[in-house]
Amino acid sequence: MASEQKRVAMTGNEAVANGMRQINPDVVAAYPITPQTDIVQFYSSFAADGLVHTEMVTVESEHSAMSATIGASAAGARAMTATSSQGLALMWEMLHIASGYRLPIVMPVVNRALSSPINIHCDHSDTMGALTTGWIHIYSESAQEAYDNLIQAIRIAEHPDVLLPVMVCQDGFITSHGIEIVFLLPDEVVKEFVGEYKPHTSVLDVENPIAVGPLQLQDYYTETKAQEAEAMARAKKVILEVAEEYEKISGRKYGLFEEYKMDDAERVIVVLNSTAGTTKAVVDELRAKGEKVGLLKPRVLRPFPADELVEALSSAKAVAVMDRAETFSTRGGQLFTEIRAAFYESHKRPLMRNYIFGLGGRDTTTREIHRVFKDLDADLERGQVDKLVTHLDVRE
């Protein structure tokens, strides 16, 4: 049965900071960066006010933030940090070390464009580049989802079948600084849901001494990576089980992705995070006029739910995959490339095209989404897409 929840007006950052307060990790090591700053700022107030028992480590860079989090986690602590953009980029080598050590670190990431040109606003160039770092990737449309995903992430990361770090992403400023209605679970319900952390190993366990991070060359590196890949594959089932359990305490349902009015949808937009909200408004408008349109919003990108996505999209006739980051492959964004590749074995392939949109925080409104649905309509008339990759709303 769903618990009695507090209805509050909060920004995405405040919701995430409150989720962290309820999780009450042993260690938080963090460095502030726009637009993530609020999370750490709120959290240090919680720590200073004695609302959490967390050892708060203020460090001199994000490389150190991730390093300290890794050290704490290897010592057996439940450890967290948070970042954005350049901060995530500076953590890069340590991201691979966190996953390689199989440490269940959970990190909120507030998506922001990578320099250059320097820009503080939202796009997904930071986390799209981190898809190969061995972290589980979960994306959030709203402050509510960022909060819900964060709490679930602890259980996913720490599950004995998984033991991988998780990044929980939300859109910079749009979600992180926009005030929304958020339902917060009671503190004790979250405490019970995440449970007491029992590390699988600890460098401080003198009864069972271990060495962490040794050299592995041609003899064992492959085996360690194969293990990691298998854990990632197992994570899919765990993510769904945790979601089911979370639904019982919250009443909110989560899957690998969300399907919005997809049942008989012929034209479909696939898009992550806050733009999915904008797309829902357009889908509603067009549905009111009898147009068969729908939205598919991926939630989990690592592990990549290829088979499930193919099944969900194969009844559509035309699909626009929207990527909020360039890959410079000249063949489309990350999400597009992976979804298109997933259809390779399928006999039922819809028309599929890519839009690169919203870079550096460029507003993507219902007007642009209407245009995308119109383009798909023209593609269906023509029987083929007129352009594989389109930069949406670019001035010539």
Partner 1 sequence: MNELKGYKDIPIGGIITEAGNSVTYKTGDWRSQKPIWKEEGCVHCLICWVFCPDDSIKVEDGKVIGIDYDHCKGCGICARECPRKERALQMVKES
Residue 96 half-sphere exposure toward CB, CA atoms < 13 A: 8
The region of 2-10, 45-53, 85-93, 207-215 touching partner 1 under the rule CB under 8 A is 207-215
Calculate ∠ Cα 65-66-68, nearest 5°: 65
Note whether 224 binds partner 1 by CB under 8 A: yes
Reduce the DSSP state of residue 380 to 3 states and report it.
Answer: helix
Shortest separation between residue 193's beta carbon and partner 1, angstroms: 25
Note whether 216 binds partner 1 by CB under 8 A: yes
Site track 134-173 with partner 1 (rule: CB under 8 A), x = hit: -----------------------------x----------
Q: Which is nearer to partner 1, 103 or 136 (CB)?
A: 103
How far apart CA 23 and CA 193 sit, in angstroms, is 9
Q: Alpha carbon of 396 to those of 340, 385, 391, 392: distances in Å?
A: 28, 21, 11, 11
Report helix angle 366-382 to 275-288, nearest 10. 60
Shortest separation between residue 219's beta carbon and partner 1, angstroms: 6
Q: Which is nearer to partner 1, 29 or 231 (CB)?
A: 231
CA Rg, the chain, in Å? 21
Our CA dihedral for 80, 82, 188, 159, rounded to 10 degrees, sits at: -50
Q: Of the candidates 93, 192, 230, 345, which one interacts with partner 1 according to CB under 8 A?
A: 230
Q: Is the dihedral of CA 175, 176, 177, 179 positive or negative?
A: positive
Q: Which is nearer to partner 1, 107 or 318 (CB)?
A: 107
Work out the burial of residue 7: count CB atoms within 10 Å of its CB; fewer than 13 is exposed, 13-18 middle, 19 or more buried.
Answer: exposed
Contacts of 192 (CB under 8 A, 6+ apart): none
Q: Which is nearer to partner 1, 136 or 376 (CB)?
A: 136
The region of 208-216, 237-245, 317-325, 381-389 touching partner 1 under the rule CB under 8 A is 208-216
Note whether 200 binds partner 1 by CB under 8 A: yes
Cis, bond preceding 32 (omega within 30 deg of 0): no
The region of 190-198, 219-227, 258-266, 304-312 touching partner 1 under the rule CB under 8 A is 219-227
Q: Of the candidates 213, 233, 363, 394, which one interacts with partner 1 according to CB under 8 A?
A: 213
How far apart CA 354 and CA 60 sit, in angstroms, is 39
Residues 78-137 touching partner 1, rule: CB under 8 A, are 100-103
The region of 82-90, 213-221, 243-251, 328-336 touching partner 1 under the rule CB under 8 A is 213-221
Give the position of tokens 């938080």. Answer: 28
Q: Of the candidates 93, 188, 192, 223, which one interacts with partner 1 according to CB under 8 A?
A: 223
Cross-strand pairs, 300: 138
Terminal Cα distance for the chain, rounded: 55
Reduce the DSSP state of residue 182 to 3 states and report it.
Answer: strand
Q: Of the candidates 3, 24, 201, 315, which one interacts with partner 1 according to CB under 8 A?
A: 201
The region of 37-45, 224-232, 238-246, 289-297 touching partner 1 under the rule CB under 8 A is 224-232
Q: Of the candidates 20, 113, 231, 312, which one interacts with partner 1 according to CB under 8 A?
A: 231
The region of 215-223, 248-256, 261-269, 321-329 touching partner 1 under the rule CB under 8 A is 215-223
Residues 113 and 122 sit within 8 Å (Cβ to Cβ): yes
Residues that bind partner 1 (CB under 8 A): 100-103, 163, 200-201, 208-214, 216, 219-220, 222-224, 226-227, 230-231
